[in-house]
Amino acid sequence: MAEKLLQVSGVSKHFGGFTALAGVSLDIAQGERFGLIGPNGSGKTTLINCISGLLRNESGKIVFAQKEISGLAAYQRTRLGIARSFQVPRPFTTMSVLENLLVPSAYVLHLKDSEGETMAMEILKSMGLADKAQVRASQLSQVELRKLELARAMAAKPRLLISDEAMAGLAGNEVDEVLEILFELNAKGITIIMIEHIMQAVMRFSQRVVCLDAGKIICEGTPASIVENPDVQKAYLGA
Ligand code: ADP
Ligand code: MG
């Protein structure tokens, strides 16, 4: 196995008396395409929030590029190379598409305006959004908003990109477009965690898949082994 980029061990999280994560452990290799699935409410976003620093884990360790990061603020983790997109897109709606990317490049990478703009335009080009650079984010279609969400994450120059349901609500051909973008980013060396409800997409994309249910990992394996796993089928059917 390639070098481990992310190591999550025994991570737990409660909301009041409710257990959202109950001792989750997983390792992700540098360059891997990793799929995280599980029914609604199984803890996928909570796990991503703990990794990206939006939430603090209560127990366990999170090591990124050999460094324990559990105690770091979200912006510090972004600087180390962890970026994520949000399940509900969070653009600055009154800013242009380009300006949305200049925020992370200025505040996270401390790039000068001209450098930030060059990098932002390259990212927009790679996402097929270059012709929308001057358009206000509020004017974008659903698929364009999803791409902007990924572009904003990429503007922090991450090593690890966590995509939280970037394909939700998209039509089939749009799912393919976003999938293609994620494949291209991975080919450039970005490690990717894909959280997705669209099973076909996650199965096509991932080299390895983990299924969460009620805050616990119930199964890990190849896409083919996961779809056939009775525990996974049971979790999704709620039986
Ligand atoms: P998933 O992303 O797998 O759908 P989440 O991680 O969003 O699941 O949520 C897991 C569980 O934790 C859900 O039952 C959800 O209602 C609960 N939860 C998530 N965030 C909070 C919060 N900030 N406060 C209280 N409960 C939360
Ligand atoms: Mg979620």
pLDDT tens digits, 74-86: 999 999 999 999 9
Distance 117 CA to ligand 1 centre (A): 36
The CB of 45 under 6 Å from ligand 1? The reply is yes
Task: Say what the pLDDT of residue 15 is.
Answer: 97
Task: Say what the pLDDT of residue 104 is.
Answer: 82
* Contact indicator for 108, 78 with CB cutoff of 8 Å: yes
Q: Which of 21, 37, 45, 87 to mutate to test the pocket of ligand 1 (most atoms within 8 A of CB)?
A: 45
Residue identifier of the C-alpha nearest atom 7 of ligand 1: 45
Task: Say what the pLDDT of residue 138 is.
Answer: 95
Residue identifier of the C-alpha nearest atom 27 of ligand 1: 15
pLDDT tens digits, 167-198: 999 999 999 999 999 999 999 999 999 999 88
Task: Say what the pLDDT of residue 2 is.
Answer: 74
The CB of 20 under 6 Å from ligand 1? The reply is yes
The CB of 40 under 6 Å from ligand 1? The reply is yes
Domains and CATH numbers, the chain: 4-90+158-237 (3.40.50.300)
**Average pLDDT of 117-141?**
96
Give the mean pLDDT of the chain.
Answer: 94
**Average pLDDT of 50-56?**
97
Residue identifier of the C-alpha nearest atom 14 of ligand 1: 41
pLDDT tens digits, 214-227: 999 999 999 999 98
Cβ count within 10 A of residue 196: 26
pLDDT of residue 239 exceeding 80, the answer is no
pLDDT of residue 116 exceeding 70, the answer is yes
Distance CA 32, CA 5 (A): 9
> For a pLDDT cut of 90, what percent of the chain falls above it?
86
Task: Say what the pLDDT of residue 105 is.
Answer: 82
* Contact indicator for 99, 80 with CB cutoff of 8 Å: no
Q: Which of 15, 54, 164 to mutate to test the pocket of ligand 1 (most atoms within 8 A of CB)?
A: 15
Distance 84 CA to ligand 2 centre (A): 12
**Could you identify the atom of ligand 1 that is nearest to the CA of residue 212?**
3
Model confidence at 1, pLDDT cuts 50, 70, 90, reads low
Q: Which of 11, 40, 46, 232 to mutate to test the pocket of ligand 1 (most atoms within 8 A of CB)?
A: 46
Distance 159 CA to ligand 2 centre (A): 22
